[in-house]
Amino acid sequence: MRRYETVMIMDSDISDEEKNTVFDRIEDIIPKYGGELFQFDKWGDKKLAYEIKKKKHGYYIYLNFCGDGNTVNEIERLFRIDERVLKYMTVLLKKNVDVEKLRDEINKKEAEEESGNTKNASAVKEKKNVESSDETVENKSDETVENKSDETVENKADETVENKAENSQS
């Protein structure tokens, strides 16, 4: 089997129900044609770099799946037929993939992330505390610099006035 990734841009003006029907069809097609969907990310509504079919915004979806040429052909056929899909691109990531091994790797990563999330929660809190203390130090140092620079300007202004007074007296 081959591993593919597809990025699809849908019309952002359609309702969530219509989007979900397209998502369901995609999720049905991949296993129907002997493939397996590993990742389905909804990136959301984003401004397009240029207008596509007179639309300035699009709803981005990312698919990562394994399958063969028939799977890709059917997904792309669906995209071409459906006028709610503005653009799509499918890229071959790897030609020969062991699906079982890939599934095990993904499950391992998910398990590590879940166990790491409990450990990371305290680390994140600690990091936020350090960042807030750093901000306080930066703010205090900025205030000190401003105060010193104000004093320096005042001293120079006083010296300039005194020098002018001395020059005018002589």
Shared domain for 104 and 93, answered yes or no, is: no
pTM of the model: 0.62
- For residues 115 and 84, membership in a common domain is answered with no
- pLDDT level of residue 5 (50, 70, 90 thresholds): very high
Assess whether pLDDT exceeds 80 at residue 89.
yes
- Mean pLDDT (whole number) for 9-14: 92
Same domain, 59 and 76: yes
- Could you give the maximum distance between any two Cα atoms of the chain, in Å? 101
Q: In what order do the strands lie in the sheet with 55-67?
A: 36-52, 55-67, 2-11, 85-94
Q: Are residues 85 and 109 in the same domain?
A: no
Asked if residue 126 and residue 139 are part of one domain, the reply reads yes
- The answer on 86 and 109 residing in a single domain is no
Structure tokens at 4: 């593919």
